Structure 1
C-alpha cells in the first residue's frame, strides 16, 4: 500500500469514516469518462446523489405518489405524511425551533428572492441600506439590486482582504442607523472562504438589524445551527447536500415569517377565496403556493439522513484533509495561483494557471476524466476584486480521495505542457 493509502486507512480507522465504502453508495462514481475513472470535483455546483436518495424518490413514485394536503384518499395521505416528515427532517438538521419555520422553495435563489420580495418590499424604503459582501453569489446580489431600482434602497458592500477573508472592522463601519438588513454568505461558493458569521450576526443584532445567511455551502461542509447563530433568515438548497435539484429551504424566525405577505398566489396557500377577498393560511403554507416538489422533498430528507449517518464531524475532517492535501499538491504546479488563501476556508480550491483560460483548463482536465468548474462561478464582482476574469475551481465532497487530487494535479501538468 502506498503512503497515501496508508494515511487514508489510518484516518478511516481513527474516525470510522471509510471513503472507499462511502464511494460505493454513489452509482455515478463507478463510471468512466473518456476511458478514465470519473473524478468529480464540481461539488460546490451540485453534488452527486447516493443510492439512498435515488431509492427514496423511486419508492415514492412507484408506491405512494399522489398530490399532497388536499386529498382524502390513502395515497394522498401517505404522500402528505412523507412530505411533512421531510420538513421535520430539515428542521432538526438546522435546529430550527419548529417546523413551521421551514419554507420549501425551488432553491436558495428563490428563497432569497422571497425575502427580498416579501419582507423587503414591506420593510424597506428609499434610502434604507442593505449590507452584503464581496464574497456573495449573484443570487445574493441581484435581488437587492432589483429592489434598489424599484424602491431606491442603498446597497453597501463589505470588502475582503487579499487572502479573501472578510474585513470585519470595515463591516462594522458600514452599519448605520439606515441599515435595515445584512445579507451575507457563511461560506463563499467561489473561493471557499468561511466568514465569521456569528460575529457578523452579533454586531448587526447589537444595532437591531436582522440578518439573512446564505448557507448553501455551509450546511454541507460546516453544519449550521440556526438557534446558536440566532440568524433571522437562512437559505440553502438540496442539490449541494447530495439531494435532488429543484428544492431548497428558507428558514425564518416564526415571528418574522408571520408578518410577511405571501410571495405568490395560488392553491394550497389560502384558507378561503371569494371574488371580493382572499384569506391566507399561516406559515409556512402561505409561502408554498401550488403543487410542491413532493418527490424532491422526500429525496432531500433522505440526503440529510445519509449525511447525518456518516456524521458531519467525520465529513468535515475528511474534507479538511483533502483541502490541505490539494493546497499543497496544486501549489507544486508551476504557474498555479490559488485565489483565497485565508486559513478560514473549506473544501474549495479556486485557481488560475499562468495565462491559460479557465475554460481551456476545464476542457483539458475533462479529457482526463476530471470534472472541475471553470468561469466566474456566479461571483463576477469577486473575480474582479482579484483581477481575474474567472478561475478553475476544484470543490471536494464526502466521497473524494487524495488519489483524485493527484489525478487533477497530473491533468494540470498536462495542460501546462500543451500551452507551453
Structure 2
C-alpha cells in the first residue's frame, strides 16, 4: 500500500451511518420509515443521545455557580461545547459564541440589542425574498418600533438571488443585510462572501441565517467575514432548545444585553447593575447545559464523517432525486438554481400539498407540506404551498426510489 492510499480519507457509507440513528429502524404504518424532513428537524444519532444521557447521569449540576466537583465538571463540559462550536465555525475566539434557544432566538437577539442601539428612521435593513419568517418578522417589529425601513431583494425565476436587484437596493442607508445562507424551501445557496463584501463596501453589517447551511457543508465565518451568523442545533443532528449566535467580538462587546437575570452580570445593587462581558452578557439564567453538550456531540459526529463528505453524498442524492422527480407527470420542481443544497420543493398538478403528504405518509414517508414558514416566497412562486423533501446524511438513493413509487401511486389515487 503506497503512502497516498494510506492517508486517503475513508469513503462515507450512508448505510453504515443509518445504524447510528435508532429511529430509522422503526416501521410507520407497517412500512420502513423514510425520513425526508431533515430541513425541519434532523434525527439524532446514538452518539448525541448517549452524550446527553451521560451528562444527566454522571455529572449533572448547574454551571458557573457551584464550588463542588459536579458543578465544576458540568461547567467544564458546557464551556468545552462552546469551544467545539467555535472550531466548527472557525470563529477566532470562543467568546464570539453565544448559546441561545434556537436560530430564531439568535436573530431576535441581534434585532433587540444591536438593532435597537444602531438603527433608526433614516436606516434600512435589506433582506431577500427567500427568507424564513424568523429573518423577516424581527425586522418588521423593529420597523414598527423604530421606523427602520425594510427592503426586500428579489429572486430570479429559478430561485437564485437577483444580484443586480440586490445591488440596486444596497446603498449607504442600509445598515444591516440579513440573509439566509441556504433557503429552507428551495435549497438555494446564496453567495454570502460576495454579499458580505458588497455590504461592507457601503458600511453595512451582515447577519447570516445559517440554519440550513451548517447541515449540508463546511462553514467558515472568518472566510465569509460576516458580522453575525446564526444556526440551530436540532437541524444539525443535535437536540432542540439550543442555538448559536456567532458575533464578531467587538460588536458583541458594544451591544447591550437583551434579557436580564442571573449569570449575565458582574455585580448588582438596587441602584445599578454592571453587566458581564460576552458571551455571558447574552446568556441570562440557567443555560441549556445538557443541550449544549448534545450539540457538541453532534458537531463531533458530523466532523468525524467530514462535512465535505456529507456535502458530496447529498449532492449525489440531489442530482438523483431531481432526475427521478422530473419523470413524474404533472410535477413541478420549485427552485432550480445552479447552487443548491439537498432540499427539494415541488407541486403536482391538481393535488393539494397537504393531501398529497398525508397519502405519502401511508408509505412511511415523512415530508413537509405547506408554506414552510416562508409565505412571501410562496407568493413569489405563485403557489399556496409545496411538498418539501429535505435530505440528510442518512438518506440514500433507495429513499428517493420509495418517494417516486409512492408519488405515482398517490397521483393515481387522488386524481
Note if 1:56 corresponds to 2:51. Answer: yes
What SS does the corresponding residue of 1:183 show, helix, strand or coil? strand
Matches within 5 A, 1:70-81: 70-81=65-76
Q: Does 1:233 align with 2:259?
A: no
Partner of 2:91: 96
TM-score for the superposition, normalised by structure 1: 0.96
2:309 maps to 1:301: no
Work out which of the residue numbers 242, 251, 264 in structure 2 matches 1:256.
251
Q: Please tell me whether residue 352 in structure 1 is matched to residue 331 in structure 2.
A: no
Contiguous gaps of at least 5 residues in structure 1: 1-12
Return the alpha-carbon distance in structure 2 between the equivalents of residues 14 and 400 of structure 1. Answer: 21
Give the match's secondary structure for 1:64: coil
The 1-side partners of 2:292 and 2:92 are apart by 20
Partners of 1:308 and 1:327 lie apart in 2 by 27
Structure 2: which 5+ residue stretches go unaligned? 1-7
SS in 1 for 2:58: helix
Check whether the contact 2:172–2:203 (CA below 8 A) recurs between aligned residues. Answer: no
Question: Does the residue aligned with 1:136 lie in a helix, a strand or coil?
Answer: coil
Q: Which runs of 4+ in 1 moved over 6 A?
A: none
1:138 corresponding residue in structure 2: 133
Q: Give distance in 2, aligned partners of 1:345 and 1:14.
A: 25
1:312 paired residue among 307, 311, 328: 307
Deviations 1:382-406 (A, max 9, x none): 0100100100000000000100001
Q: Distance in 2 between matches of 1:107 and 1:311?
A: 24
Displacement after TM superposition at 1:222 (Å): 2.2
Alpha-carbon deviation of 1:344?
A: 1.0
Q: Distance in 2 between matches of 1:272 and 1:243?
A: 34
TM-score (norm 2): 0.97
Cα distance, 1:342 vs. partner?
1.1
1:116-127 → structure 2 map (5 Å cutoff): 116-127=111-122
Contact in 2 for aligned 1:15/1:314 (Cα 8 Å) = no
1:190 correspondence with 2:162: no
Is structure 2 residue 168 aligned with structure 1 residue 173? Answer: yes
Q: Distance in 2 between matches of 1:387 and 1:80?
A: 50
Indicate the RMSD between aligned Cα atoms, in angstroms.
0.9
1:37 to 32, 36, 49: 32
Distance in structure 1 (CA, Å) of the matches to 2:288 and 2:28: 32
The aligned counterpart of 1:364 is: 359
Whole-Å Cα distance in 1 between the matches of residues 172 and 29 of structure 2? 58
